[in-house]
Amino acid sequence: MAALDDFRKDTRAWLDENCPASMRTPMTEGETVSGGSKHRSPNPDSYVWLDRMAEKGWTVPAWPKEYGGGGLHTDEFVVLLEEMARIQARSPLEGMGVTMIGPTLLEYGSEEQKQRHLTKIVNGEIRWCQGYSEPGAGSDLAGLATKAEDKGDHFLVNGSKIWTSGAQFADWIFCLVRTEPQAPKHEGISFVLFSMDSPGISIKPIKLISGASPFCETFFDDVKAPKEDLVHKVNQGWTVAKRLLQHERSGLRALASAGASRTAATQTTTSLADVAKETIGMVDNHLANPVLRDSIIQYRMNANAFSLTQRRTVEESEAGSTPGAATSIFKFYGADLRKEQLELQLKARGTQSFGWEGDGFTAEELNLTRTWLASRAGSIAGGTNEVQLNILAKRVLGLPD
């Protein structure tokens, strides 16, 4: 306990000294740093902050020190996040490097692969994208058809991916390819890494209902993927792929952040009630619209129960191991909660929440319109909610196929 108190004191002092003032303001869309050089934050402080945090390994606080991580225990990690939350410090580095491929390489990468890739993730040097989904393989991911032929020192990749988030900004891709067409579908897949600058790759951005184009179609035409970046064993990529999805859906990082926001969590969404007070008004100390009031309260209670459950999981996994299949509830329930939160914002604000652009709306209102539309992806991306329920039923409840 005393050691943890010391850690908190040191951390607080270090953050006070090293976190630039502009990094203690709410994140703005364009200033998120996900690594690499193809998309830069316009704010130079973003990189001062990134470099200082990376030097301590605190862009990935729980990774082992030998690969550039912070080597923190879960309880220290939570303290760090609490202290960051206290000064409203931004996350210095986001993206699929720190959240998905990094943790996966730590488990399945060869020593040589870890040495070559991990520090570049920690420093934010390289941005990654995820080549999983294909036009014919979404929920049935193992039905993927992108072909990789063994050419001795490399695989020759042909086919296409779709919904590749950030492909236009990524330096590298982690990609599922079919290396054995005759085998049962789960047993002919390999997990490979290659540069997005390889000859034969082309991309085409796709526009979302929110108007943004965060993802692309990605085409491979005789792309050479060197064998040194085959992760784990050939035709055993499915095991790696599933593990990565667990990190994506509910990695320790996400849980620990939730744990840290234990008090903040109840505050951030108060804005929903504040908005409603303003737009709907109060009668006898109650929101004037009783139906909306009940929905808001129900949402608030569910959100509270949800964050308590995340905190409980953190406390239970004190040992620091990444929780397994039971954490599917977070992806599933969290996506629904977020959608509900935004739908309630619309109900509270009425027609002011449907502004698309131009005059007549505040910047916050215009932003809400887009955020609401984007929120629908939560129950689709990374495995749909129906697929999450399938996984829960099978892996956690043990129900038969």
Partner 1 sequence: MPLVLNEEQNMLKDAAKDFCGKSTPITELRKLRDDKDETGFSRDIWQQMVELGWAGITIPEDFGGLGFGYLGMGVVMEECGRTLTASPLMSTAVLGSSAILSGASDEQKAELLPALAGGELLTALALEETPHHSPYNISTTAEKSGDGYKLNGSKKFVLDGHVADQLVVVARSSGTAGDRDGLSLFLVAADSDGISTTRTIMADSRNAANIELSNVQAPATALLGAEGKGADVLDKVLDVGRIVLSAEMLGGLQEAFERTLEYLKVREQFGVPIGSFQALKHRAAEMFCEIELSKSVVLEALSALDEDSDEVPKLASLAKARLTDTYNLVSSEAIQMHGGIGMTDEHEIGFFMKRARVCEHSFGNAAYHRNRYGELEGY
Ligand X SMILES: Cc1cc2nc3c(=O)[nH]c(=O)nc-3n(C[C@H](O)[C@H](O)[C@H](O)COP(=O)(O)OP(=O)(O)OC[C@H]3O[C@@H](n4cnc5c(N)ncnc54)[C@H](O)[C@@H]3O)c2cc1C
Q: Which residues bind ligand X (CB under 6 A)?
A: 130, 132-133, 138-139, 163-165, 215, 377, 380-384, 386-387, 390
Alpha-carbon torsion 149, 161, 141, 327, what sign? positive
User: By C-beta, is 289 or 384 nearer to ligand X?
Assistant: 384
Report if residue 287 touches partner 1, rule: CB under 8 A.
yes
Report, in Å, the least distance between residue 354 CB and partner 1: 24
Stretch that binds partner 1, among 32-40, 170-178, 227-235, 389-397 (CB under 8 A): 389-397
115 Cβ partners below 8 Å, 6+ apart? 67
Report if residue 273 touches partner 1, rule: CB under 8 A.
yes
Tell me 63's DSSP state.
S
Structure tokens at 359: 């005059």
Which 3 state secondary structure label does DSSP give 176? strand
Q: In angstroms, rounded to a whole number, what is the distance separating the alpha carbons of residues 278 and 295?
A: 17
Report if residue 397 touches partner 1, rule: CB under 8 A.
yes
Structure tokens at 399: 């129900």
User: By C-beta, is 121 or 348 nearer to partner 1?
Assistant: 348
Report, in Å, the least distance between residue 13 CB and partner 1: 28
Burial class (CB in 10 A: 0-12, 13-18, 19+), 198: middle
Report if residue 329 touches partner 1, rule: CB under 8 A.
yes
Residue with tokens 């060869």: 110
269 Cβ partners below 8 Å, 6+ apart? 299, 300, 303, 341
Q: Which of 29, 248, 365, 386 is catalytic?
A: 248
Q: In angstroms, rounded to a whole number, what is the distance separating the alpha carbons of residues 256 and 82?
A: 10
Q: In angstroms, rounded to a whole number, what is the distance separating the alpha carbons of residues 71 and 63?
A: 5
Among 110, 113, 302, 371, binds partner 1 (CB under 8 A): 302
Report if residue 315 touches partner 1, rule: CB under 8 A.
yes
Q: In angstroms, rounded to a whole number, what is the distance separating the alpha carbons of residues 345 and 335?
A: 16
381 touches, from partner 1, ligand X, none (C-beta below 5 to 8 Å by class) = ligand X
User: By C-beta, is 155 or 333 nearer to partner 1?
Assistant: 333
319 touches, from partner 1, ligand X, none (C-beta below 5 to 8 Å by class) = none
What are the C-alpha distances in Å from 98 to residues 61, 62, 130, 211, 330? Answer: 10, 11, 13, 27, 19
Among 4, 13, 87, 326, binds partner 1 (CB under 8 A): 326
Share of the chain residues as helix, strand and coil, in percent rounded to the nearest 5: 55, 15, 30
252-260 helix and 74-86 helix, angle to the nearest 10 degrees: 50
Residue with tokens 């739908």: 343
Report if residue 301 touches partner 1, rule: CB under 8 A.
yes
Report, in Å, the least distance between residue 370 CB and ligand X: 13
- Bridge pairing between strands 172-178 and 154-165: unpaired
Report, in Å, the least distance between residue 315 CB and partner 1: 5
Stretch that binds partner 1, among 78-86, 146-154, 311-319, 370-378 (CB under 8 A): 311-319
Structure tokens at 240: 């790696």
Stretch that binds partner 1, among 30-38, 167-175, 178-186, 297-305 (CB under 8 A): 297-305
Stretch that binds partner 1, among 100-108, 222-230, 233-241, 328-336 (CB under 8 A): 328-336
Report if residue 4 touches partner 1, rule: CB under 8 A.
no
384 touches, from partner 1, ligand X, none (C-beta below 5 to 8 Å by class) = ligand X
Task: Answer yes or no: 149 catalytic.
Answer: no
Q: Using CB atoms, what's the residue nearest to ligand X?
A: 138
Burial class (CB in 10 A: 0-12, 13-18, 19+), 21: exposed
Q: In 284-379, at which residue ranges do the beta strands (DSSP E only) sit?
A: 286-287
Report, in Å, the least distance between residue 163 CB and ligand X: 3
Stretch that binds partner 1, among 168-176, 306-314, 339-347, 351-359 (CB under 8 A): 306-314
Which residues are identified as catalytic? 248
Q: Which residues bind partner 1 (CB under 8 A)?
A: 270, 273, 276-277, 282, 285-287, 293-294, 296-298, 300-302, 304-306, 308-309, 311-312, 315-316, 326, 329, 332-333, 386, 388-390, 392-394, 396-401
